[in-house]
């Protein structure tokens, strides 16, 4: 991880002793020197954090910033909690506002495929917070990509063409429902609960005005009105760009660290390279 301090607009809003550094050029900042004591955040600091998240996409807070019990109170500066927990993501024992992403409890967890959290619904959360509760001896990193950065590096003519396209998103685009709901009746109910929907392929961030590429490998089924071969190839180009080293930042977790990202523009995947080790992350998701 780079620790080069970079000048950011929001640095001026940081309290004394709080340091901001860059994780990677395309996205990500790290914050150190802050300890959350449960009291409401100073308004300037709160605005600065929101600004940082909107502009850098991902913010990592060093271990010690928050606890398993209070990280949701801290993340609450971003918006209202948005729970879409199901039987596969139980509530965290210490914290009713968080759900558990436990590598041992959910064998069907597909978080190792690029996705946006809740990307199977039109009102997916705006922000996700993950707290590292338990980690395998090695591995289990999370990799993030900034799809606004991807959009900004497209050929302008190709970008203009993409802006004319609509995608169909579906919870079952790559078999998410089929794999999880083995009982056919339950699967049918899940499909009724989470029907496919249309979205523009290029969207505009409401705070920054930056355009971003709204496709991910888990929940985008196809490009509306395009042939299968055109749809697959265009999506393939975009998926490759989203996964490119230049557009991404890989974070190696430390126990007690907290990551918060803008779940609209930034997509992610957990790296499943830790065999039988156990990895437990606590998650909270929020609306804007
Ligand atoms: Fe996720």
Domain 9-145+245-286 is in which class? Answer: alpha beta
Domain boundaries, given as residue ranges, for the chain = 9-145+245-286, 159-243
| Alpha carbon distance 195, 24 (integer Å) | 36
Q: How far is the CA of 12 from the centre of ligand 1 (A)?
A: 31
Q: How far is the CA of 273 from the centre of ligand 1 (A)?
A: 16
Q: How far is the CA of 268 from the centre of ligand 1 (A)?
A: 6
Per-residue pLDDT of the chain (288 residues; tens, 9 = 90+): 333 334 445 566 788 899 999 999 999 999 999 999 999 998 989 999 999 999 999 999 999 999 999 999 999 888 888 776 666 678 898 998 899 998 887 666 678 999 999 999 999 999 999 999 999 999 999 999 999 999 999 999 999 999 999 999 999 999 888 888 889 999 999 999 999 999 999 999 999 999 999 999 999 999 999 999 999 999 999 999 999 999 999 999 999 999 999 999 999 999 999 987 899 999 999 988
| Alpha carbon distance 268, 261 (integer Å) | 10
């Amino acid at each position: 991880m780079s620790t080069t301090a970079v000048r950011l607009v929001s640095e001026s809003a940081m309290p004394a002793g709080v340091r901001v550094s860059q994780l990677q050029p395309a996205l990500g900042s790290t914050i150190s020197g802050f300890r959350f004591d449960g009291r409401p955040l100073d308004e300037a600091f709160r605005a600065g954090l929101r600004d940082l998240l909107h502009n850098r996409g991902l913010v990592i807070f060093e271990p010690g910033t928050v606890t398993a019990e209070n990280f949701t109170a801290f993340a609450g500066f971003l918006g209202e909690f948005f729970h879409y927990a199901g039987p596969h993501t139980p509530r965290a024992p210490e914290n009713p506002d968080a759900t558990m992403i436990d590598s041992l409890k959910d064998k069907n967890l597909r978080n190792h495929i690029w996705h946006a959290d809740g990307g199977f619904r039109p009102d997916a959360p705006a922000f996700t917070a993950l707290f590292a509760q338990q980690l395998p001896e090695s591995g289990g990193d999370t990799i993030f990509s900034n799809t606004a950065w991807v959009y900004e590096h497209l050929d302008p003519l190709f970008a203009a063409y993409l802006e004319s396209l609509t995608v169909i998103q579906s919870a079952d685009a790559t078999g998410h429902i089929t794999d999880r709901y083995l009982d056919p009746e339950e699967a049918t109910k899940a499909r009724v609960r989470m029907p496919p929907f249309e979205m523009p392929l290029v969207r505009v961030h409401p705070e920054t005005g930056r355009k971003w590429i709204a496709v991910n490998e888990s929940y985008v089924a196809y490009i509306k009105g395009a042939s299968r071969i055109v749809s697959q190839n265009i999506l393939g180009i975009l998926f490759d760009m989203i996964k490119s080293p230049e557009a991404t930042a890989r974070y190696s977790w430390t126990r007690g660290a907290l990551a918060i990202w803008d779940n609209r523009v930034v997509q992610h995947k957990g790296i499943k390279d830790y065999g039988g080790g156990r990895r437990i992350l606590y998650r909270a998701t929020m609306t804007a």
